[in-house]
Amino acid sequence: MDTRVVITDERNRKAKRILPEEEKPQWWAMSAPYQREMKAKELLDSHGIANFVPMHWEKKVLPRGGWKEVLVPVIHNLIFAYCTKTRIQQVKKGVPYLQFHTRPEDGAAASDRQLRVPIIVPDKQMEDFMRVCGTFSRHLHFYGPDELPDLAAGTPVRIKSGSLKGVEGTFVRIKGHRSRKVVINIPFVASVVPMTIDASEIEEVV
């Protein structure tokens, strides 16, 4: 393991160990084929690995009539796991319902399946995504990686008030909506659009 030691306080002889990126706990976007995201969650829970499945309220018809609302996964086959690369590789070994979500390697063609790498979600990006999903608002809209316009053409913004204060996203116009929306995006994986946010509640990220 390529571990480095960095001196943080020479006078008091203090130092810290710097682990290589793959050995730091990180958020991994994982695939749980055939809608087995909850089974994958049970597996990760049993190993003490922090994880997250985006959920929303859905009406369920009862056998004897009527209905009730239950929390169910909103994006099938998707789960996020927080641990080191070594740990997640150990846990998913031989498990067909837990695999890495991958993206094209930098510079590689999207069609080249040999040059793909696991998707790591930066902590801040994951925190914002979980905060928005965690509201369980009925006004949330979820989109797949190819369902939105080019977000690079939008304006990076930060919500400056309310329960989502500090959340960062992209202010962009979405087809079918009259006004521009704040999109919290995890590239190659998914995007979530929270309830309508007034322009006065956001500020541009410089």
pTM, entire model = 0.84
Torsion of CA 184, 186, 189, 190, to 10 degrees: 0
Furthest-apart CA pair in the chain: how many Å?
Answer: 74
Taking only the tens place, the pLDDT of each residue in 51-69 is 999 999 998 999 888 999 9
Q: Which of 27, 127, 34 is nearest to 87 (CA)?
A: 27
Taking only the tens place, the pLDDT of each residue in 4-14 is 555 666 666 66
